[in-house]
Structure 1
Amino acid sequence: MAGTPTNRRTMRLLLVRHGQTPSNVAGLLDTGHPGPGLTALGARQAAAIPDALSERVIDGIAVSNLVRTHQTAAPLAEHRQLEPVELDGFREVEAGDLEMSDRHEDHVVYLETVFAWGGGNLTRRMPGGPYGTEFVARFDDAVAKIASRGWQTAVVISHGAAIRSWTSIRAEGVDLDAMAYTPLENTGLVEVEGDPENGWHYVGMSAGPLGGHVLADELADDPTGESVAEERADAES
Structure 2
Amino acid sequence: MSVKKIYLIRHGQTDFNVAGIVQGSGVDSDLNEAGHRQAARFFAVYQQLPFDKVYTSTLKRTHQSVQGFLDLHLPHEEHSGLNEISWGVREGLRITPDEDEEYHGVLQQWQRGETHARLLGGESPDEVAARQRPFIELLRSRPEEETVLVCMHGRAMRVLLCQLLNYPLRCMDSFEHRNLCLYKLHYTGSMFSVNSFLDVTHLNEC
Q: Is the structural similarity TM-score above 0.5?
A: yes
Using the size of structure 2 for normalisation, the TM-score is 0.80
Deviations 1:203-234 (A, max 9, x none): 332353732288xxxxxxxxxxxxxxxxxxxx
Which amino acid in the other structure matches residue 192 of structure 2? W
Secondary structure at 1:61 match in 2: strand
The 2-side partners of 1:115 and 1:86 are apart by 32
Which amino acid in the other structure matches residue 162 of structure 2? S
Q: Are the structure 2 counterparts of residues 102 and 194 from structure 1 closer, same or farther at C-alpha, using a change threshold of 3 Å?
A: same
Counterpart check, 1:101 vs 2:89: no
Report the Cα offset of residue 191 of structure 1: 2.5
Q: Which residue of 1 aligns with 2:131?
A: 138
Which amino acid in the other structure matches residue 19 of structure 1? G
Percent identical pairs in the alignment equals: 24
Q: Are the structure 2 counterparts of residues 26 and 34 from structure 1 closer, same or farther at C-alpha, using a change threshold of 3 Å?
A: closer
Q: Which residue of 2 aligns with 1:85?
A: 77
Larger CA deviation: 112-121 vs 39-48: 112-121
Instruction: Pick one of 46, 53, 75 that aligns with 2:46.
Output: 53
Q: What are the within-5 Å matches in structure 2 for residues 183-202 of structure 1?
A: 183-194=176-187, 198-202=190-194
Secondary structure at 1:187 match in 2: coil
Q: What are the within-5 Å matches in structure 2 for residues 181-220 of structure 1?
A: 183-194=176-187, 198-208=190-200, 210-212=202-204
The 1-side partners of 2:108 and 2:161 are apart by 10
Q: Which residue of 2 aligns with 1:20?
A: 13
How many correspondences in the alignment?
Answer: 203
The 1-side partners of 2:30 and 2:134 are apart by 25
The 1-side partners of 2:156 and 2:108 are apart by 10
Counterpart check, 1:159 vs 2:162: no
Unaligned runs of 5+ in 1: 1-7, 215-237
Report the Cα offset of residue 199 of structure 1: 4.0
Using the size of structure 1 for normalisation, the TM-score is 0.70
Q: Which residue of 2 aligns with 1:66?
A: 59
Report the Cα offset of residue 156 of structure 1: 0.6
